[in-house]
Amino acid sequence: GENVEQHPSTLSVQEGDSAVIKCTYSDSASNYFPWYKQELGKRPQLIIDIRSNVGEKKDQRIAVTLNKTAKHFSLHITETQPEDSAVYFCAASRPASKLTFGTGTRLQVTL
Amino acid sequence: DAGVIQSPRHEVTEMGQEVTLRCKPISGHNSLFWYRQTMMRGLELLIYFNNNVPIDDSGMPEDRFSAKMPNASFSTLKIQPSEPRDSAVYFCASSAPGEQYFGPGTRLTVL
């Protein structure tokens, strides 16, 4: 089955700096890669996703990149703000199948 | 759309009691997922359904757990008998092919 590894497990950045979270996956048939943000006591919320026919996708301050050959994908947050502090999960799935989640990255944005 | 609806939002029960968690997926979504989240084990997929049919229940911890989806708009997760180690937040999520959305979760405490 699919295996998703996520690094780092914790990340602390100063407000205004960039943050990068990286994930690798094992199943070459996976074609869908979402990212979720979970604030304390809340549900995971989908913030951005990318499909395997695209190498990069951007939405304001967040962007995802995908390298199918190397089987890794990354989340980039620019100009970080305190409200970006949360746990971020990457995930991967084959078509019409379940998501396999990474173990999460706790991002702390300090003033 | 109201999103994924779960009830109850909080449940406190005593060891040995039966617990039933409920979920209403987003209308039109054909896949439904039950997850459990704890600090120790992170986010675990328990079971998922496609078109009301259970596809993968390999994450169900033991026979005390059961899940049903009698129709496209309703699912239950039952724990009988409950134990203190079942204390967790239980999330239901639904998806059409692709984007998966989580409900607000049920925080279960078993005393």
Question: Tens digits of per-residue pLDDT, B58-80?
Answer: 999 889 999 999 999 999 999 99
pLDDT exceeds cutoff 80 at B1: no
Q: Which of B46, B45, B49, B44 is nearest to B31 (CA)?
A: B49
Question: Tens digits of per-residue pLDDT, B21-45?
Answer: 999 999 999 999 999 999 888 899 9
Using the Cβ of A61 and the Cβ atoms of chain B, whether some distance falls under 8 Å is answered with: no
Give the span between the Cα atoms of B57 and A43, in whole angstroms. Answer: 22
Give the span between the Cα atoms of B75 and B24, in whole angstroms. Answer: 7
Q: What percent of chain A has pLDDT above 90?
A: 90
Calculate how close chain B gets to A72, using CA atoms only, in Å: 19
Residue A68: helix, strand or coil by DSSP? coil
Evaluated on CA atoms B49, A45, B77, A33, the torsion sign reads positive
Contacts of B42 in chain A (CB under 8 A): 101, 103-104
Using the Cβ of A33 and the Cβ atoms of chain B, whether some distance falls under 8 Å is answered with: no
**Interface size, chain A vs chain B, as Cβ–Cβ contacts under 8 Å:** 38
CB contact under 8 A, B43 and A104: yes
Residue A105 — pLDDT band, cuts 50, 70, 90?
A: very high
| Burial class of residue B67, CB neighbours in 10 A (0-12, 13-18, 19+) | buried
CB contact under 8 A, B43 and A95: no
CB contact under 8 A, B43 and A89: yes
CB contact under 8 A, B33 and A98: yes
Question: Tens digits of per-residue pLDDT, A41-90?
Answer: 999 999 999 998 889 999 999 999 999 999 999 999 999 999 999 999 99
CB contact under 8 A, B43 and A98: no
What are the beta bridge partners of residue A105? Answer: A88
Residue B43: helix, strand or coil by DSSP? strand
Q: What percent of chain B has pLDDT above 70?
A: 99
- Beta-strand ranges (E) seen in chain B are 5-7, 10-13, 19-24, 31-38, 42-50, 53-56, 65-71, 74-79, 88-95, 100-102, 106-110
Give the span between the Cα atoms of B20 and B53, in whole angstroms. Answer: 19
Q: Which helix (H) or strand (E) holds A48?
A: strand A45-51
- Give the pLDDT confidence score for residue B98 in this predicted structure: 79
b/e map A66-86, b = 16+ CB within 10 Å: beeeebbbbbbbeebeeebbb
Q: Residue range A25-37: average pLDDT?
A: 96
CB under 8 A, 24+ apart: contacts of B93-96 = B93/B4, B93/B32, B93/B33, B93/B35, B94/B4, B94/B25, B94/B26, B94/B29, B94/B31, B94/B32, B94/B33, B95/B29, B95/B30, B95/B31, B95/B33, B96/B28, B96/B29, B96/B30, B96/B31
Q: B interface mutation test: which of A43, A45, A49, A57 has the most B CBs within 10 A? A: A43
Contacts of B55 in chain A (CB under 8 A): 98
Q: Using CB atoms, pick whichever of A45, A46, A98 lies closest to residue B45.
A: A98
Residue A14 — pLDDT band, cuts 50, 70, 90?
A: very high
- Give the pLDDT confidence score for residue A56 in this predicted structure: 94
Left (φ > 0), alpha (ψ -120 to 50) or beta: where does B16 sit? left
Contacts of A89 in chain B (CB under 8 A): 43
Using the Cβ of A89 and the Cβ atoms of chain B, whether some distance falls under 8 Å is answered with: yes
